[in-house]
Structure 1
Amino acid sequence: MQRIFLLLLCLLPVTWQRAYAQYFDTLHIHYAIGAQAPDAASRLLLDSLAGHHNGRLLLIYSYADYLGSERANQHLSVERAGRIKAYLLEKGVPKEQIGECTGLGQLPGSGGREGNPDHRRSDIFVRRIKPVAGASDPPRAMPLAGKIKEKQGIVIPAEAEATPKFSAIDLSRVNVNDVIRLQHIGFYPGRPDVLPRSYAEVEHLYQVLSDNPRLKVRLEGHVCCCVYPDGYFEDTPTWQLSVQRAYAIYRHLVDRGIDSTRLSYQGFGRTRPIKDQERTSAEGQVNRRVEVRILEK
């Protein structure tokens, strides 16, 4: 994963590289099947990390493989993250230096009874923040709901595309648990704010929900790059940007009058990419998305 991050960093525009010249190391802790706590060898790695924590922010993300149920694996990943945090605190790492501690459930896969040992892991990102003189902020946008909400509907701003685009949503062709990809919703890197060209797609989704009052959906958020800038939500700060993207669409739909009991939202980070390695900004936008899962119709 560290090699992937370095590759992605090289692909960023030069101005972004200057603005976010920060240091990352990644520590991987692997587990036996069903294990919640790190083993003896992993504890030695954590001891070394705890002994050199000064000036560093630690971000803990834990996973499980495909063995067992999704619900059980979600609990297992949370336990793994919690055990790592508890161990580091016990070893003297101040709690304010652990910026995030999250279990992200199971990673997709299938196979034999041994599971996938690479997916039974905790990733600890070691972030050393060092501000760079002259760094400029990334592009920012006002939240979608505050910028385009009107009583009678969304008004497409002047900066949006001349010909608004939206994905066809034919409910007669989808079943419960099917996922509809909203192909024309894009986001600013590192932000939950949609691009201006996406407003028509959001309005179309609102109209489908409004016209089908029995329809219930889950909004599922995704990110481009597994580490900064896209997986990291600048406002919090946490690595929950995929959740915030799904929530942004959820909040807008509720504000427009869709009953919140018909909606839910969830973030999947970069565990379900469409493009395995984003080589261009356009490919990055493919992964930077929100999808709609049909729960009831």
Structure 2
Amino acid sequence: MQRFFVLLLLLSSAILQRGYGQYFDTLHIRYAIGASEPEVAGKQLLDSLARHHEGRTLLIYSYADYLGSERTNQHLSDKRALRIKNYLLKKGVPEKQVLACTGLGQIPGHGGAEGNPQNRRSDVFIRKKNKPAPASPITVKPSPAQGTPIATEETAPQFSAIDLSTAKVNDVIRLQHIGFYPGRADVLPGSYAEVEHLYQVLSGNPRLKIRLEGHVCCCVYPDGYFEDTPTWQLSVQRAYAIYKHLLDRGIDAARLSYQGFGRTRPITEQDSTSAEGQVNRRVEVRIIEK
């Protein structure tokens, strides 16, 4: 138990001193009791990471819960960390990108025979090695027929229904088709139609006032790290990105506000798959006045 706290302290110190606190995402890989092989959902996360490993450096730290002896759990956590590393290497991740691979032993606790599944895990901290080129901003082009902007999207546009006839003041409308690149405030290309739809709703309802509320996923800090600033205000920047776009399109600033909530209001608790992470990586609309 003492070794766990010592290693955890060293880990925290390393993160602060070497700047690894500036990772943009964290994967949580889960295990069955006594297992060193990741569960299926965890392997899917690792597969996604391996496909997009360019420009990223990784730190792997693994744990066990209170079931079994401390010595056994230390060995188990070591095996879990090494198994994650070897899995990624076999998938094509260069070994030089894995900066740490450590088992931190058991996380103290007590309870029943099922242990604590939240503590049977590996955390893969992901940090960008070099700042990438900025993702494409929200771009629109005029409609030849009407001269009004439309979203530039190759696939069929998707956007959430915003029914102002039933919406009440303080209701929150989840924009299900606005997604973001991890660690950034740039929306995914598939989000353009959703942003354009929100603009059209505001344009057609001049009394409507809203607040844009940003959220992040996969983060152990109060908010996500936003590399462009750099600050720990990723959720704020995501809300601001939509706010600024609406301003640029001509929506009165008096009708708009924005706020970030970090990861304090997740839709899915575990972020155990890429899809769940993307659900939490979002912006919502709160009705302020209508």
Using the size of structure 2 for normalisation, the TM-score is 0.56
How far off its partner does 1:150 sit? 5.3
* Counterpart-to-counterpart distance in 1, 2:149 and 2:218: 30
2: distance between equivalents of 1:288 and 1:171?
A: 25
Please give the residue correspondences for 1:65-80 in structure 2 after superposition, counting only pairs within 5 Å. none
Distance 1:141 1:216 in 2: 29
- By how many angstroms is 1:18 displaced? 7.2
SS of the equivalent of 2:165 reads helix
Pairing 1:170–2:206 present: no
Deviation, 1:20, is: 3.7
Where does the alignment leave 5 or more consecutive residues of structure 1 unmatched?
Answer: 26-126
Correspondence for 1:279: 272
1:22: Cα distance to partner?
5.7
- The structure 2 residue matched to 1:215, chosen from 193, 208, 212, is 208
Residues 1:226 and 2:226 are matched in the alignment:
no
Does the 8 Å CA contact 1:139/1:188 hold for their aligned counterparts?
no
Choose the corresponding residue for 2:137, options 125, 134, 143.
Answer: 143
Give me the whole-angstrom Cα distance separating, in 1, the residues matched to 2:133 and 2:217. 16
Distance in 2, matches of 1:192 and 1:149, equals: 21
Among candidates 221, 235, 243, match of residue 242 of structure 1: 235
Within the candidate set 47, 50, 53, 1:14 is matched to 50
**d(CA) in 1 for partners of 2:190, 2:201:** 19
Greater than 6 Å deviation, 4+ residue runs: none
Identity, % of aligned positions: 67
Structure whose alpha-carbon radius of gyration is higher:
2
SS in 1 for 2:258: strand
Instruction: Judge conservation of contact 2:213–2:261 (CA < 8 Å) in 1.
Output: yes
Q: Check the 8 A contact 2:214/2:262 in 1, yes or no.
A: yes
Provide the C-alpha distance between the structure 2 equivalents of 1:294 and 1:192, rounded to a whole number of angstroms.
22
- Aligned to 1:172, what secondary structure does the other structure show? coil
Aligned pairs (5 A) from 1:151-170 = 152-157=147-152, 160-170=153-163
Output the CA distance in 2 between the equivalents of 1:18 and 1:201.
29
> Aligned residue for 1:110?
none
> How much is the aligned-residue C-alpha RMSD, in angstroms?
3.3
**SS of match in other structure, 2:235:** helix
Pair 270,256 (structure 1): closer, same or farther in 2 beyond 3 Å = same
On the 8 A contact 1:219/1:263 being kept in 2, the answer is yes
5+ residue gaps in structure 2?
A: 1-7, 12-24, 30-41, 62-124
TM-score, length-normalised on structure 1? 0.55
Task: Give the secondary structure class of the aligned counterpart of 2:201.
Answer: helix
Residue matched to 2:188: 195
Q: How many residues align?
A: 185
Say which SS state the counterpart of residue 194 (structure 1) adopts.
coil
Q: For the Cα contact (< 8 Å) 1:140–1:188, is it kept in 2?
A: no
Equivalent position amino acid for 1:294 in 2: I
When residues 222 and 139 of structure 1 are mapped into structure 2, their CA distance, relative to the original with a 3 A threshold, is farther
| Aligned-residue offset at 1:154 | 3.5
